[in-house]
Amino acid sequence: MSTRSSIPLCEPEISGSERTYLAEAVGRNELAMGGFIPRFERMVADYVGTRHAVAVSSGTAALHLSLLAAGVGPGDEVIVPALTFIATANAVRYCGATPVIVDVEPYHWCMDPRQAERALRPGVKAIIPVHLLGHPFDYGPMPVPPGATIEDATEALGASWCDQKVGALGNMACLSFNGNKLITTGGGGMMLTDSDELATRVRYLANQAKDDPHEFVHKETGYNYRMSNLAAAVGCAQMEDVEDKLASKRRIAERYAAGLAGVPGITLPREAPWARSAWWLYTIRVSEREYGMGSRELMRRLEAEGIQSRPLWTPLHRQPSLRGCPAYGGEVAERIHAEALSLPSSVGLSEEDQERVIAVIRYSAR
């Protein structure tokens, strides 16, 4: 039996005040609603630099309500990148709209602005570029749709594009506080915007579109997408050391870059000169021909050593649930999908554990 402990892909890190704040919320009997919600919203809005933040139950809910606030409905089209988690496209489908799938660029694997330009057809109302794996997409050349640019910043809290924090670039941005993200509430999300109107609209829709608080009159169909005060209490604690968490992620990336440099067939991720990555999941490319085994075989080798790694998501134009959606290119996303492997990237990853990961990858090379 192995005496070595296993190394997970990406675990949450307790900041310190979680128990205190949770006890405070419980002590006041404020479980669903309470003061931690506006406090958490203010912390995140001030950190990113937007006027408003609306806490919701998940990143997916934030995307859904952002699209509705942008006026996206049945018959509309929304541009999404080929390489992302399915949630980006699912939010479009919830509105009865059609995702238009656009290939990614080969450097940082985010939506290719030139392909997005081509995809800007008459039916397109909004665009959701994704800051993938913590690295910002190139906002400058991204085409502007008639409706809204919604940043999917669910993986990139703390990243910057040209010294501007991601989440403050487009008309709206969405964050996720799922368990594997930089900060977590055990499940949650947030919509960020400078627009009073969009913030009010999203808050209204997240609260069942309640028009009269006493008589419960509803002029339209809303959603139960609120964040609980308990979740927000955890969020406040997590936000207190967001900078330390980011610094840990950066240190992990630097150690991988040093430890894996020069391994034949392994391509390391790089930060663009205009970017500051949040380094959410450190993801390498494995060339089967040069390395001697492919990304999936390396994943199994790591697994045999108790090390968790993971390929990227199947590209959206290959998803059975999205069959028939228009697509522009997709070959770049497919190549990256075949070769990419995300390595253990928990904020709390120890140097010894990381050295073990690096050693297995180094010594498995042909």
Ligand X SMILES: *Cc1c(COP(=O)(O)O)cnc(C)c1O
Q: Which residues bind ligand X (CB under 6 A)?
A: 58-60, 84-85, 87-88, 130, 152, 154-155, 176, 178, 189
CB of 85 to ligand X, least distance (A): 4
Name the residue with the smallest CB distance to ligand X: 59
For residues 184 and 356, which CB has a smaller minimum distance to ligand X in the complex?
184
CB-wise, 128 or 263, nearer to ligand X? Answer: 128
Q: How far is the CB of 332 from ligand X (least distance, A)?
A: 17
CB atoms inside a 10 Å sphere around CB 106: 13
Give the shortest CB-64-to-ligand X separation in angstroms. Answer: 9
Cβ closest to ligand X, residue 176 vs residue 248: 176
| Closer residue to ligand X, CB minimum distance, 58 or 345 | 58
For the record, the structure tokens of 293 come out as 């085994």
Beta strand ranges found along the chain (DSSP E): 52-56, 77-81, 98-102, 124-127, 148-152, 160-161, 164-165, 172-176, 189-193, 266-267, 275-276, 283-286, 327-328, 340-342
Q: Which C-beta is closer to ligand X: that of 151 or that of 353?
A: 151
CB of 189 to ligand X, least distance (A): 5
| Of 178 and 277, CB closest to ligand X | 178
CB of 54 to ligand X, least distance (A): 14
What is 29-57 written as a DSSP string?
Answer: T-SSSSTHHHHHHHHHHHHHT-SEEEEES
Alpha-carbon 344 to chain mean position:
17
The smaller minimum CB distance to ligand X, of residues 85 and 282, is found at 85
CB within 8 Å of 347: residues ≥ 6 apart: 11, 12, 13, 182, 245, 248, 249
Distance of CA 302 to the CA centre of its chain: 25
Q: Report the distance separating Cα 146 and Cα 168, nearest Å.
A: 19
- What is the identity of the amino acid at 220? E
Least Å from the CB of residue 86 to ligand X: 8
Give me the least distance between CB of 62 and ligand X, in Å please: 8
Between CA 143 and CA 177, with CA 79 as vertex, the angle to 5 degrees is 105
Kindly state the smallest distance separating residue 3's Cβ from ligand X, in Å: 34
Contacts of 345 (CB under 8 A, 6+ apart): 9, 10, 249, 252, 279, 280, 281, 282
* Dihedrals phi, psi of 174, to nearest 5 degrees: -125, 135
Q: Is 100 helix (H, G, I), strand (E, B) or coil?
A: strand
Cβ distance to ligand X smaller for residue 66 or 193: 66
Radius of gyration of the chain (CA): 21
Q: Which helix (H) or strand (E) holds 204?
A: helix 196-206
Name which of 260 and 340 has its Cβ closer to ligand X. Answer: 340
Nearest C-alpha neighbor of 287 from the set 259, 264, 262, 311: 264
Least distance (Å) from ligand X to the CB of residue 71? Answer: 21
* Sheet of strand 164-165: strand arrangement: 164-165, 160-161, 275-276
